[in-house]
Each structure stands twice: as C-alpha cells, then as structure tokens.
Chain A
Amino acid sequence: MSKFEISQYNKLWSNEGREIMRAIIGNPDLITQKHRMWATKFRIDSNVTPTDAHGKAVFTSYLRPVGQGDVMDLRAPLGDSNPADTVGTQYYTGVIPDLIAKGFRETATERYYKEKYFEQFGDAQLLAQYATEEVQRLVDSANKTLSIMSGALLSTGQITYMWGSGIKGNVLKADIPAENFLNAGSAAWSDTTFPLLTHLRDTVEEINAKLNVNFKWQLEITSAQWRNNFLNNTEVVNWIKYTNALKFVNVPNGFPVTEEMAKSSLREFEGLPEIVIVDETVFNTENGLVNSWADGTAVLRPVGYAGYIRHTNILDEEMQKFKSSVVSKNFVKLPQIPAYLVNTVLNNGNYKEWHTDLMMSAVPSLDEFLYHFIIDTTTAESN
C-alpha cells in the first residue's frame, strides 16, 4: 500500500473521514467563522422542519399582539355595552429552500499530482491546503448566504434571492403590517439639521402607546448611514459635545467623533433606542460587492433576536439508503450552521473522482413581525 493510501488527506473521503472532517471544521486555527451577522440576529431552530411528500418544508411563525382596552363609553343606566372587536393570533407560513455552494472536484490525474506533492511536502501540508482553501470557502459560503438572506429579511421584510448563479426569485415574505413601514419624518435623515434624536425618541413613544408595549428598542442601521447621517447630524454632534462638556471634556469643532464616544453619549439621551450598526456587505464572484441592506433603510425593533433559522432535511442525504455500491458519500454537519459538508467518491471511466460539496436547506424567519418597523430614511412624509 502506498503512503498516500494511509494519508489523512485520502481518508477524508472514507467512513473514518467524518472524524477528520469534524476535527478540521472545529479547529479555529484552520477554519474561521466569518460573515456571521446572521448569528447575531437569528438563533438556529432546535427543531427540524419536516419536508412533506409534496416537497414542502413549511414552518409557521405565530405572534399574539398585546391586547388593550379602549376608554369607556358614557351611557345611560341599563344601557348595554357595544361589543368589542378582538384581534386573534397573527401568523404566516413559509417554506424552506435548498441551497448548494460551488463544489470541489478532483479527478484521478489531479490526485496523482497531489500524491507526488505529498511525497515532497508531507500530509499536513495537503490537509492544511484543503482545509484553508476548500473547506474554508464552503464554510464562508454558508455564513455569507445566511447573512445576506438575514439582511434582506430584516431590512425589507422579504427575501428575493437574486444572488449566485442558480435559480432566482422570491423565497419568503414575512407578514409585517403595512403600517409598520415608516418614512423618515419631517425630513430625510441626510438633512443634517433634522432633529434626529428627538424624532427617534418620539417615534418609540408613539409606538409603545399604540401597541400597548414597553419594549427596549434598538435601531439597526448600516455603517454608511451611521457615518453619513448620524455623525454629521447637528443634534447628535451637539448632544455629544454637551454630554462630554458635563464631564469637563472639550470636543472641538470638526473633531472626528468615534463610534464608542458617540454611543456612550447617545446612551444618555433618554428614550432613544439603542443604535446597532449592521455590516453585512459580502463579496460574491457573480455579483461583486453585495449589500442586501440598503444604506437608507433603518430597522426599529425590540432588542434581542429577530427570529429563527428554520431548516429541514436534505433529500440527498435521505436518498443514501438507495445509493449505488460504487458511490460513497459522507455527510458531516457543520458546527453552528445548519449545513452539511458532503464528501463523495464516484467513478469516472476507469478511475475514481472525488467531490466535496456544501448543502443547506435553511432560511431565516422573522418571528417578531408585528413589532418590526422598517424606516425609509430617504423619504420625508408628504404634507
């Protein structure tokens, strides 16, 4: 048996390769988890959404609005009450799509080259190259995909998948009430004289009163909006100067304000929602730099997670019970991501061929949809 046969790299495609793959994926020195914006906004659903025989993997998101009473009616004695309308539990359903990353493929002649390489440089080099190039790329794909879908869902209320080189089109629309889509206020937020902090405080107070809630709110914006609209806003700058002056710290005109300095000051503005900067710009070969969250969109929602990452079974894994004896497949679940790395060995003419693929059947769902507000900060209210 040649040395290559017993190498760790070759074993990746055997049954014992699952453990090696798990070790690779779980090693932070080999695989880094990047583009994880989605994990700060959504939790992975601990339940698997089943796929039915019709090909649908349907999840349902329920939310009960907080009821509230109206003021009483002045009446004459013995006069009966008017019946009250009630609001039931709101829901929407969604289905989970299937996704696949660009795959790794190696023919026998390419393996031959690798074998010669191994004889010169050793197994660790091969494994490290495979892990840091191929596996890392696939893990990045999964994280990028979940983040880009999360950005779209949070900032528009829907996911229309127009990225990559696969099927394109509408995937999911959350049932956000129409009245939750707000405009900027009396002026666009790009107007530096607009009293931005006062407007945000008043908006939160109005929402709390209308919905009979007392949430801790957060305002999610992109870093470009933070730099261009917040740090340039007159009311914001004056507030930062004021709060620093109270601590006997002088902030000269034109002094660049840091994010930490600004946030520290803004925390002292009573009633203001927490400002959270979202950064989900990713690079995709087909689309270039992609930002599924437009810079002019702000999201106002309760502090905490926005919902779950729903996921379902992968048909390719279920079909393994019918697999051919000349094809072998290993499925390894990624940690912290509802996706599977799949290593396949199959025939290509007289020789073998090796594949590594990443498959995922998952989608984020917005589960606080009644309390999710999307603000178009570029459009002022019309008079």
Chain B
Amino acid sequence: MNSINNIGVFRGRTLLQTRGSIGGSRQVFVKLQGDKNELVYPPIGGLIMNPFKGTAKAFAGDLCEYDPLMMGEMPVIKILKTYKVVSASGTTVNIERTKYSHIPFVGDILGVAPDTIGGTGTAVTVNAVTKTKVGTTDVWALTTSTALSASGGDILVEYAPNGKMLVANINAVIDCDLDFLYEPADPFSEGYEDEFDKARYFYAPSLRATMLESKMSPIPECVKKLNLSNVKGWFRVDCFGHNYMETYGLLEEDQVQ
C-alpha cells in the first residue's frame, strides 16, 4: 500500500479532522514602494536536505541556505528551523508552541545556537514530543537524549551529525508558506540512494527579501549578525550583498584573499 498517495482500503469508519484558516496571513515582508527585484530565483533550485519529519510548515520569511555545490555536485537547500526555549531542566526542554512555530519531531537533533553560524555546539536528540503548557504558555515538552543546558529565551537550531550547526550560511528566503505533508526520505541516512517511495522536496528559494523581524520565526544571535539592513527592526537577506563569508570564516582556505 502506498500511503503517500492515499491509496488503500479501510472497511470501517475513519474520523479525522483538520482546522485552520484560509486566506488570512501574517505579513512578514516589509511593504516598500517602487520597483523591487526580490522574487529572484537561482538556477535549478535545490533539494531540501532537512524537510520536517512529519506534517509541518515552513513560513514565508523563513531563512535558508542555498548551496549550489557546483563542480559536479548537487544544489541543496537547508531551512533554518528555530525553536524558542521557554524553560529547560534535565532532559526536558519546553519550547514555545504557537501557530507560527516550527514543529519539532522525534529524531530531530537540536542544540542551542552557537556564537557563529555553522559553528560547533552541544546537541541532543529529541526522543519524545508532548503538547502541554508551562503556566499559561503553550509549549512542546521535548524529552531529549541527554540533558541540555538551556535557559528561557535561548534559540535552538538543528545540528548536523558532525556536531556543527546544520545551516552554515544565510543567503536565501522562503517566499511563501510551504506545507510538508509526507514522510520524507532522509538525505543524511544510509540507504538514501535506494529510497524512491518517501518524499523528496525540490524548491527554488528567493535570493533577496526584506522582512519585519517581529514577524519572523525566532532568530538566533549568530544569524542576526548577518542582517544586511540598516533599518532597525528589518532583516534583509541579499545573496549579492556584503560578503560576510570571509568576515565570519565561512570561506574555504583557498578562497581567502
């Protein structure tokens, strides 16, 4: 049975609901007059390397890394997923749960954002996710593999298996909400090259945008440093903007001038 295409037979009755709103939106992009040149897409686009492990959403204005990996390799996209810590104690981490929050899943490897984007930090694996409240605040209570040293206000990000922050650069933006509906294949897993049936997502992000910080998903400090806007409260991404890659040591050794 191929559940991805909703093919199958159940002779009983299935009760299933969804709820939400259609048509409303939270305006994250700064409304500017005049000719803009922001819906600019790169050649090809890329494979999303870190799709959500279940039904979830990436939002308009979310930041991502577009890596063309030229010289015969494959272009990829890594979405910056962020989770705001409400409180943490031992192996329980409570993260903010709103209708505009990225949803955590069992198997996610998360840690407090490092000082430098793409840097090293302590990461834990999420073993369980429970919807609950801390006081009057809706949270997801994450049960983690080991204790995570985190405080309220910290921002968690995804980590790669090598212990570094998964997203190593910010140069592109999600230009509209994206619904992830299917169980994805994991490009980092063994056996990925034999995977045909699980979902693989191809996407072309926008290479420029200006967002209202207050409307964006939570931004860790290491990402705030990459803001190209000189207007307080606006976050500007422009893949053709100031080259901060050398400043923040993101260039390979042979690329440093």
Q: Interface residues, chain A, CB within 8 Å of chain B?
A: 54-56, 58, 93, 97-98, 100, 158, 160, 165-170, 172-173, 286, 326
Contact = CB atoms under 8 A, between A and B. Distances in A.
B5 A169 contact: no
Given A100-B43, A158-B196, A169-B47, 18 more contacts: A54-B179, A54-B181, A54-B182, A55-B201, A93-B2, A97-B202, A98-B202, A100-B44, A160-B193, A165-B44, A165-B72, A166-B43, A166-B75, A167-B74, A169-B74, A173-B196, A286-B72, A326-B35
Contacts of A168: 74
5 contacts: A54-B181, A55-B201, A93-B2, A100-B44, A167-B74
A93 B7 contact: yes
A235 to B, nearest CB: 38
Contact of A165 (B70, B179, B194): B70
Contacts of A166: 43-44, 74-75
Which secondary structure characterizes the binding site on chain B?
Answer: loop
Nearest to A326: B35
A98 B46 CA distance: 12
B172 to A, nearest CB: 15
Interface in B14-58: 35, 43-47
A354 B96 CA distance: 48
A170 B202 contact: no
B195 interface: yes
Contacts of B215: none
A58 B195 contact: no
Contacts of B46: 167
A249 to B, nearest CB: 52
A170 B200 contact: yes
Contacts of A58: 5
Interface string B51-84: 0000000000000000000101011000000000
A169 B181 contact: no
Given A54-B179, A172-B196, A167 B44 contact: yes
| Residue picked from A166, A168, A173, most chain B C-beta under 10 Å | A166
B200 A169 contact: yes
B45 to A, nearest CB: 7
Contact of A167 (B5, B179, B182, B202): B202
Interface residues of B, number: 23
Given A54-B179, A54-B181, A165-B72, A170 B5 contact: no
Nearest to A173: B196
Contacts of B44: 100, 165-167
Interface string B135-161: 000000000000000000000000000
Nearest to B70: A165
A100 B46 CA distance: 13
Nearest to A287: B72
A170 B74 contact: no
B47 A167 contact: yes
| Residue picked from A56, A93, A165, A286, most chain B C-beta under 10 Å | A165
Nearest to B74: A168
A97 B44 CA distance: 12
A203 to B, nearest CB: 28
Contacts of A55: 201
A160 B70 CA distance: 19
B2 A167 contact: no
Interface in B148-185: 179, 181-182
A361 to B, nearest CB: 12
Given A54-B179, A100-B44, A167 B75 contact: yes
A98 B204 CA distance: 12
Interface in B236-255: none
Contacts of B196: 158, 170, 172-173
Nearest to B73: A168
| Residue picked from A100, A158, A169, most chain B C-beta under 10 Å | A169
A294 B45 CA distance: 30
A160 B44 CA distance: 17
A170 B202 CA distance: 12
A170 B72 contact: no
B53 to A, nearest CB: 17
B136 to A, nearest CB: 36
Nearest to B2: A93
Contacts of A100: 43-44
A123 to B, nearest CB: 31
A100 B75 CA distance: 14
Nearest to B179: A54
A55 B196 CA distance: 17
A162 B181 CA distance: 26
B78 to A, nearest CB: 14
A218 B194 CA distance: 29
Nearest to A94: B196
The 8 closest A-B pairs by CB, nearest first: A173-B196, A166-B44, A168-B74, A170-B196, A167-B47, A93-B5, A54-B181, A167-B202
Contacts of B2: 93
Given A93-B5, A93-B7, A170 B195 contact: yes
Contacts of A56: 5
B25 to A, nearest CB: 16
A58 to B, nearest CB: 6
A100 B182 CA distance: 26
Nearest to B197: A173
A254 to B, nearest CB: 45
Nearest to A98: B202
B45 A170 contact: no
B193 A167 contact: no
Contacts of B70: 165
A100 B44 CA distance: 8
Contacts of B201: 55
A36 B45 CA distance: 28
A167 B72 contact: no
